[in-house]
Structure 1
Amino acid sequence: MKEQQMWHEFISAHPEYQNKTYQAWSYGVEPDELARLTIENIKTATASAFEEYALENEALPEEGELNIILDANEEAVCITKTIKVTVIPFIEVSNEHAYKEGEGDRSLHYWRAVHKEFFNQSYTKKGLTFHEHIPVVCEEFEVIYK
């Protein structure tokens, strides 16, 4: 289903959201797998590099924001609502946040390993240098429609 079709179905079922806006996006790595974890309510958080928002002239996520999660084929799989946003140094991301991201064995060790690799590659492409104190945007969300 395309994002606009999902949005129309959603506001038909939940007219209280008809004046809201949304962002549609897919996860940067393994979009199908992470979308599946989101639909199954295993993945209830995500993280992104703070500095990349400024480079891409993009606003930070905000509490109450709605997102349509897309798979690798840009098909809409669910709608989430952001419930918490914090910006903290990479090295201070908690066990709890790593668990909520729902990936791998859900440990902080796993989270740090895969995110260090992801952020390092992303930073290198953009001419930035990754270090363990980069600010990270930690976002928590709930699925409100699927």
Structure 2
Amino acid sequence: MYWNRFWEGRKLPKSVNAWQFGGSPDAYAQLVIDGIKTATCSGYIFYEMENEPLPAINDYSIILNSTDEPVAIIKVIDVQILPMNEVSKEHAIAEGEGDRSYQYWWNGHEAFFKKELAKIGMEFSEDMLVVCERFELVDVKK
């Protein structure tokens, strides 16, 4: 397994998650591999509903492609929980999507959250809490 081979001879971290980016898993994973995408954000409400632990600094994640195959390992270097309308321009740019503008980031995330919240009978709000993560690429599966 990719994870075990990567950690061979090293001290394993306490926990690891494996997940896909929402929206376009393959494209976003490639942006991570290319060093363009160094941040992401997700809706806080989804962590609450699924009783999932929030990401924390020094957490490791295996990034999966759209067929659930591992493609890379990242390490969380910063986490902030804040209203979506307070996410900084710098964070939006670090997400590396589209033309890398704040407006592109806002439009894409608003559409994504509206769709996902509608599935659970909720409405989007500009001040909904989001979990903003900054990360560094640790390894790429060869």
TM-score when normalising by structure 2? 0.95
Alpha-carbon distance in 2 for matches of 1:58, 1:8:
23
- 2:92 corresponds to 1:98: yes
Higher helix share: 1
- 2:120 corresponds to 1:126: yes
CA shift at 1:128, angstroms?
Answer: 1.3
Give the residue type in structure 2 aligned to 1:43.
Answer: K
Give the paired residue count. 140
Q: Name the residue aligned to 1:70.
A: 64
Report the 3-state secondary structure (helix = DSSP H, G, I; strand = E; otherwise coil) of the residue aligned with 1:32. helix
CA shift at 1:38, angstroms?
Answer: 0.6
Would the alpha carbon gap of residues 62 and 19 (structure 1) be closer, same or farther in structure 2, given more than 3 Å must change? closer
Q: Name the residue aligned to 1:6.
A: 2
Would the alpha carbon gap of residues 91 and 20 (structure 1) be closer, same or farther in structure 2, given more than 3 Å must change? same
- 2:76 corresponds to 1:79: no
Q: Name the residue aligned to 2:129.
A: 135
Gapped runs of 5+ residues in structure 1?
Answer: none
CA shift at 1:116, angstroms?
Answer: 0.2
CA shift at 1:19, angstroms?
Answer: 4.7
Alpha-carbon distance in 2 for matches of 1:108, 1:37:
17
Of 8, 14, 17 in structure 2, the residue corresponding to residue 23 of structure 1 is: 17
Gapped runs of 5+ residues in structure 2?
Answer: none
Give the residue type in structure 2 aligned to 1:6.
Answer: Y
Are 2:13 and 2:60, in contact at CA under 8 Å, matched by a contact in 1?
no
> What's the % identity of the aligned pairs?
44
CA shift at 1:20, angstroms?
Answer: 3.1
Q: Name the residue aligned to 1:61.
A: 55
TM-score when normalising by structure 1? 0.92
- Which segments of structure 1 move beyond 3 Å, counting only runs of 4 or more? none
Would the alpha carbon gap of residues 124 and 7 (structure 1) be closer, same or farther in structure 2, given more than 3 Å must change? same
